[in-house]
Structures are given as C-alpha cells and as structure tokens.
Structure 1
Amino acid sequence: MQAGGRIVALSTSVIAKSFPQYGPYIAAKAGVEGLVRVLANELRGRNITVNAVAPGPVATELFFEGKSEEQITQLSKLAPLERLGQPEDIANVVAFLAGSDGGWINGQVVRANGGFA
C-alpha cells in the first residue's frame, strides 16, 4: 500500500453490550479491533491509517434475518436515536475515514451506533 493509504476494518458495537450467545462473534470482532491498533503502529512512518467502524443495529437483510417484528422494534429503541441505522449511515463513516478528512484519525474504533453502546 502506498503512502496516504487507508485501511478501514469492520467490527461491531455488540462488543460493548456483551449480549449472551454472541461469544464467538464478539471474540472474532475483538480480534479485529486489536489488529487495528497493532497494525496502526506497525505501519508507523508510512502515512497509512488503520481504523475500524463498529456499527450498531443496521437495517440490512442480515440484521432482519430470523428476528420477529417485536425483536426488531425492541432493538430499534435501544439507541437514544430510537431507530435502526441505515447502510448509508455506516457508509458515510467509512467514507470519512477513507478520505482526506480522516487523515488524522488512526488506530481508532468508531462506534457508529446512534448511542446504542
């Protein structure tokens, strides 16, 4: 990767909530977050940023799969904004981190979740 490059990984805000039965998922995403911090240091001096975005509940096909309407409504109300995130909400954060405006953000996990966690 050339100088000025951007690496944006995806994690989850579920890490901060520690929901039962999410152990393997949380463990995998915690590894992603650890890797972001280490890789940011390993790429020292190369002007390459490494960050992660950790979405909360987002209205995607995968999120809706296997959930009742009641569960979806309940999860929608967990964040102070009282709505599910939209794919565009997450895309905008990724675009910020990948663009020139995000050039001073490095080794961070941005929890884009409407205040969910």
Structure 2
Amino acid sequence: MKRLSTLSAICLALLVTATSYAEEEKGFKPLFNGKNLNGWVQNGGKAEYNIVDGTIVGTSVPKTPNSFLCTKKMYDDFELQVDFKVDPLLNSGIQIRSNVYDEDKVLETKDADGKEKKIKIPAGRV
C-alpha cells in the first residue's frame, strides 16, 4: 500500500485559507502557498479544486465518490492551524495520517449495532 502524505485530506466542498499568521509565526511553514496547488494531489472522486482569492475551494460533483486533496509531502511532528469553512449538508473534514489504497480492498468491520459487514474501498481512495 503506497503511503501518501494525507496530513490534510480534504473532502468535497472544503475551504482552507492560507493565513499570514502561520507564515509570520516562527517555526511554522504554510502547507499552501496561496497561489496554486503545487505540492498537492487529488485522490478519489472527481471534485474540482480551484484557488479563489488565495483560498483552496473544492466543489463536489454530484453522484461521484468522495474526493481527497492531499499534501504530497509526509509530515512527522506538527501542529495544524487552519481556517475551515464547509457547507453543513456535505460530508467533509480533515484527515490526518491517512493512507491511499493502490488497489481495491475489502475490509471486514462491524456496524454500530455490532453486525459484521464488509466494506469495499476502491483504489485511489483515502
């Protein structure tokens, strides 16, 4: 299983703002340069990611799998500072230390009621 840095896996319609605060504070390095998506890779679905006024704007595509915008670089010890805005009707969030599946996987798990079930995770998903 190939590991990609998914410090900041961003699902669907997520807004991440690059703040000058992170750039000014000693020892902090911004993950996003405010200009383009250099250093980032999309995994999973077909969401569109654009830069609007120095902000990453993700727009979901109906009836497609979740999309994940991930940093290419791996990070060890970190503090994440982020401004985050999302449509409350969407499934969105930030994943930390996640993996990207290179091939389809079937996982065995239990649902909330304890019933065993299998979940298929397609290649390219986080």
TM-score, normalised to structure 2, is 0.24
Whichever structure has more helix as a proportion of its residues is 1
Whichever structure has more strand as a proportion of its residues is 2
TM-score, normalised to structure 1, is 0.25
